[in-house]
Structure 1
Amino acid sequence: MRLRVIIGAALGIAACVFVFSRHDWDEIWQAVALLGWGLAAIILWRFVSIIVAGASWRLLYAPGARPRFGFTVIARWVSESVNGLLPVAQVGGELARARLAFHALKRAGKPSSGLDSAATVIVDMTLALVAQAAFALPGLWHLWQLNEGAIARIVGGVAVSILPLVLLIAAQHQGAIKGGTALAARFGLARLVADEAQEHPLWTRLAALYRRLSLAAAVTGGHLVAWSCRAGETYIALHLMGQDIGLLDAVMIEGLLNAARTAGFLLPAGLGIQEGALLLLCGWAGIPGPVALALALVKRARELGVGLPGLVAWAVLERPKMRRHHHAR
């Protein structure tokens, strides 16, 4: 794991240096400076999508065993913070929110199962990727409208959009695993379900949730709204930097950018992938390279503005469990 992180970080940093070295830093900073206090608005705007995504995940719990709404939002915030800032290959945050929800339910005296928390998180991840792939479709159509000869771009966009979803579904297939513990281990959730997974395989809980089609559709719809809110972040930032773009431009950029980051999950925090993808996608929308890289810096600043407090919140929430573990020893 450490070697993978070191190699991934080195490759990502090298890609960032290469991309930024080919552009004028003065022009990039001038575009960033146009944002001013708008950066604070962009950071706050991110919480809209976090609230919607948290509410969607909460629906997957049985009505009598749901965590409080506010808590699911906080857990979703922690998850995004961990995945965005720590070298955890996009699964550490899911483990964090599953653990937080499990212990919150126990404290509230509600029916609590590690398997249920793990299942809701894995299904939520899958439906979020379904929504992400659906969200990319208007952007791909808009890309076709911008350049009807962009067949290679369209094919590449489709592949990047659906590859993470295909891999995630394949990981959940009953025939590809040997019991619930093996599947839980793939998502970093083995310890959470260690006492239950052998008697009640995790995949049976997953299948039960997927069979509730109306529930799956509602959760997917919620995540579509969340992805749309994230496109609003790109729209606001580019307008503040003086770029006259349309909503479909923002949808195309944000949809394919997130798909690229998900597909490149092995690179910590999407280093290099986000910067290179923004340069490419903004270029397709007619946005100059320095402005695209300014947007990349704004998104990194937003990640810090949202993620650092999220990591602090995680540490505060985990402290009682750490204290109990220390006393037990």
Structure 2
Amino acid sequence: MSAPEPLRAGRPALARALLRRLPLVGTVLGLGLAIWLVATNDLGAVADAFGRIGIFGLAGVVTMRAAIVLLCALAWQRILDRLSPAGFGAFATLRFVREGINVLLPVASVGGDVVGGRLLTFWGVAGPLAAASILADMLFQVGTQALFALLGAGLLMQVQGEPAAELASWVFRALAVAGLVLAAFFAFQRTGAARFVEARLGALSRRFVREAEPARSAGGSVQDALDAVWGRGRRARLLQSILLHALAWTLGAAEIAIVLACIGVEGVTLSEVLVIEALSQAIKSAAFPIPSGLGVQEGGFVLVGALFGIDPGTAIALSLAKRVPDIVLGLPALIVWQNLEARRGAVRAETP
């Protein structure tokens, strides 16, 4: 027996309302977890450890993060090399905007990527091609993070003790699931599935908006753009993008090394720093519905840091130090975003 027509009509609206509130709920939960972690640990120890980092230590972390974001921008540009009129400056600007939205606004961790793809059209890139570049860039970013987490879990296996073995086992199981998701995401881009999804979305749009004819983008379909991105003769560029993302993930460990050196923590080796960065980032990414991994990132540092003798106060201070670039680089990025939107709006208003 089918549901009554009013009930069926109300389901899409209910689903949209729930999706809109999910990031806000995640923000509240994450903030509560972060407050609980700080409150249940020695607040004085957290403040003391954070104070020892100093202005120069924090400046080093911000500088390293800026370099990482620029590497990611270059990785994004390589995907559209010779397919797009946009230069590196556009990709660098929009990559900072993507990061700023993801870490500072109550959106899921992919919200900034969606906005970044739309903003890329301001530089003359066709909408479908911009969307295709975001899809490929996200695949490479998540795929290289999975490999980085695999490296961290492998290094963790060398650590003696049951807690380390249990955490490594959890990471391996999570990566097995992530591998299946990534394989499906890759297949979506390469098998023509995007064309089917576009057709279904277009049918739904025409059903609810009641347009007589579907509006087709001048840039063709997203599947056509994906075929261009993955086309022959582009393997070298795509491999460069993958390697740049892998380098960016690895350089994140330098932020941890800087902070621990400033605090005065001794005896932590390079492999241990790599484990801390790889697994804490994996834990944060697993909670992607929570904006910026609020609370989850702090919990990840406490959990992984304890395996190497890092006390909770120092671990939380380390997490807070890694959030400083989120603010220092993210706030200007949000201002740039709003200026871009305002300029675009002004141009459209002047166009007859």
What's the TM-score bracket when you normalise by the shorter of the two chains?
0.7 to 0.9
Establish whether residue 232 from structure 1 lines up as the match of residue 254 from structure 2. Answer: yes
- 1:180 aligns to what? 198
Query: Whole-Å Cα distance in 1 between the matches of residues 329 and 101 of structure 2?
Result: 11
Establish whether residue 292 from structure 1 lines up as the match of residue 315 from structure 2. Answer: yes
TM-score by length of structure 1 reads 0.86
1:142-291 counterparts in 2 under 5 A?
142-147=155-160, 149=162, 150-161=164-175, 163=177, 166-167=180-181, 169-170=183-184, 173=188, 174-175=192-193, 178-180=196-198, 195-196=215-216, 200-210=220-230, 212-244=234-266, 245-291=268-314
Identity %: 28
In the alignment, residue 258 of structure 1 is paired with which amino acid?
Q
Mapped contact 2:46–2:316 kept (Cα < 8 A):
yes
CA 1:250–1:257 in 2, change beyond 3 Å: closer, same or farther?
same
RMSD: 2.7
CA 1:207–1:81 in 2, change beyond 3 Å: closer, same or farther?
same
In the alignment, residue 170 of structure 1 is paired with which amino acid?
A
- 1:118 aligns to what? 131
TM-score by length of structure 2 reads 0.81
- 1:15, distance to aligned residue in structure 2 (A): 1.3
- 1:187 aligns to what? none
- 1:146, distance to aligned residue in structure 2 (A): 1.3
Query: Whole-Å Cα distance in 1 between the matches of residues 226 and 133 of structure 2?
Result: 8
In the alignment, residue 232 of structure 1 is paired with which amino acid?
A
Query: Whole-Å Cα distance in 2 between the matches of residues 312 and 163 of structure 1?
Result: 38
Local SS of the residue matching 1:147: coil
Query: Whole-Å Cα distance in 2 between the matches of residues 159 and 41 of structure 1?
Result: 35
Local SS of the residue matching 2:310: coil
**Structure with the greater alpha carbon radius of gyration:** 2
- 1:129 aligns to what? 142
Local SS of the residue matching 1:286: coil
Local SS of the residue matching 1:10: helix
- 1:54 aligns to what? 73
- 1:72 aligns to what? 91
Which segment is superposed worse, 273-282 or 132-141? 132-141
- 1:168, distance to aligned residue in structure 2 (A): 5.3
Question: Residues 293-323 of structure 1, C-alpha deviation per residue, up to 9 Å, x if partnerless?
Answer: 1112112222111111111121122221122
Question: Residues 200-222 of structure 1, C-alpha deviation per residue, up to 9 Å, x if partnerless?
Answer: 44234334534544333221101
Query: Whole-Å Cα distance in 2 between the matches of residues 252 and 151 of structure 1?
Result: 13
Query: Whole-Å Cα distance in 2 between the matches of residues 177 and 275 of structure 1?
Result: 41
Unaligned runs of 5+ in 2: 1-18, 203-213
Indicate which of 9, 32, 35 corresponds to 2:50.
32
Mapped contact 2:146–2:178 kept (Cα < 8 A):
no
CA 1:238–1:266 in 2, change beyond 3 Å: closer, same or farther?
same
Unaligned runs of 5+ in 1: 107-111, 185-193
Query: Whole-Å Cα distance in 2 between the matches of residues 31 and 183 of structure 1?
Result: 52
Aligned residues: 314
Local SS of the residue matching 1:63: coil
Mapped contact 1:180–1:197 kept (Cα < 8 A):
no
Question: Residues 140-199 of structure 1, C-alpha deviation per residue, up to 9 Å, x if partnerless?
Answer: 122111126544211212344465564355356255873336689xxxxxxxxx954699
Mapped contact 1:82–1:311 kept (Cα < 8 A):
yes
- 1:190 aligns to what? none
- 2:115 aligns to what? 96
